[in-house]
Amino acid sequence: MNIVELLTQREFLIAVLAAISAAAVVFTFGSSMIVRQDMKKRIKRVAVERDRMRAEEMARLRGSSGADGRSSIRRGKEPKSYMKRAVERLDLKKAFQDDTTVDKLAMAGLRGQGELTKFLFQRLVYPIGIFAFAAFYLLFVTPGDRPLFLNLVYAIGAGLVGAYLPLLLLRNRTQKRQTSIRRSWPDCLDLLLLCVEAGMSMEHAFKRVAKEIGGQSAELAEELTLTTAELSFLEDRTRAYENLGRRTGLDGVKSVMTALIQADRYGTSVGQALRVMAEEGREARMMEAEKKAAALPPKLTVPLILFFLPVLFIVILSPAMIQVFSGSVATTMGGN
């Protein structure tokens, strides 16, 4: 049996299509379960944070406060003691921290001194660990015929790559978080506009929208919840708006916060400012969708050439090739 007959057999085609369908079903259900579990975890964390801040606000209204005399937003988990000692003794803050490190961690959803300590410790440990692993692998597992200094050079190169690994992971997490916030921000503006026009204050509007938007973007719900707490206990409301724009790092969010600051400072209509910004947000989202739609045909060119056209040629030419080969075989057998 030749390859052409095998490819044109109905049983073979059915088996291939069944295998592709089964793989697609497994991948679809598996990815949806993973996303659902992550979303439930984030929503639960936001709910716990909202309850904790509500309790802190009730304590503040009763006249009590924390040990430091003021309320505090959610912090990350405390780092291990050896991390603190390493950061303090080696003075890693002076070596790795700059003016934008805290803001970058906040944009990735990592807040507090504990997350900063962990990040600085990772900046120290990752290159050393990767260098040690690469050196062990090159010198003892696969030494080959390479000289010793060349193996060490390769290990040092791997260590240098590992020095940038925490920054790459942080950037990847920041991009994912910003993508989630950017997609849900126009809907958030519409909900804020409805709440404000219904007569709610900004604190209650942020709290209500954070509750409603949690199913769509847990990251945005968390940021709005923190902004609600800051609007409640900060003396200057503009700081809460500025902190939201700084934590997200998105130009759209910063422009809306600037409009709210100006409306609060000059006494203009907050609803009118939100209405204008909501319209701009919808237009920006439509323009982005049109841009993606316009970029779709060039992106489909390569898959079309590599995958669709060969299959189309096989489907069109296979019957003719089968007839030609069958006629050749019949002619040969008749001549014999």
pLDDT single digits (tens) 114-147: 888 999 999 999 999 999 999 998 888 887 788 8
Domain contains 80: no
* 168-192 residue pLDDT tens: 999 999 999 999 999 899 899 999 9
Over range 220-241, report the average pLDDT: 87
Question: Does a structural domain hold residue 291?
Answer: no
Higher pLDDT, 51 or 173: 173
Residue 143 placed within a domain:
no
Judge whether 149 lies within some domain. Answer: no
Look at residue 243 and tell me if it is in a domain: yes
Indicate the residue among 264, 286, 308 that finishes a domain: 286
105 domain residue, yes or no: no
CATH label of the domain that carries residue 208: 1.20.81
10: domain range?
Answer: 1-35
Q: Residue 228: which residues within 8 A CB-CB, separation 6 or more? A: 53, 203, 206, 207, 210
The number of domains in the chain is: 2
Given this model, what pLDDT does residue 58 score? 53
Sign of CA dihedral 243, 259, 225, 32: negative
Residue 30 lies in a domain: yes
Q: Is residue 212 part of a domain?
A: yes
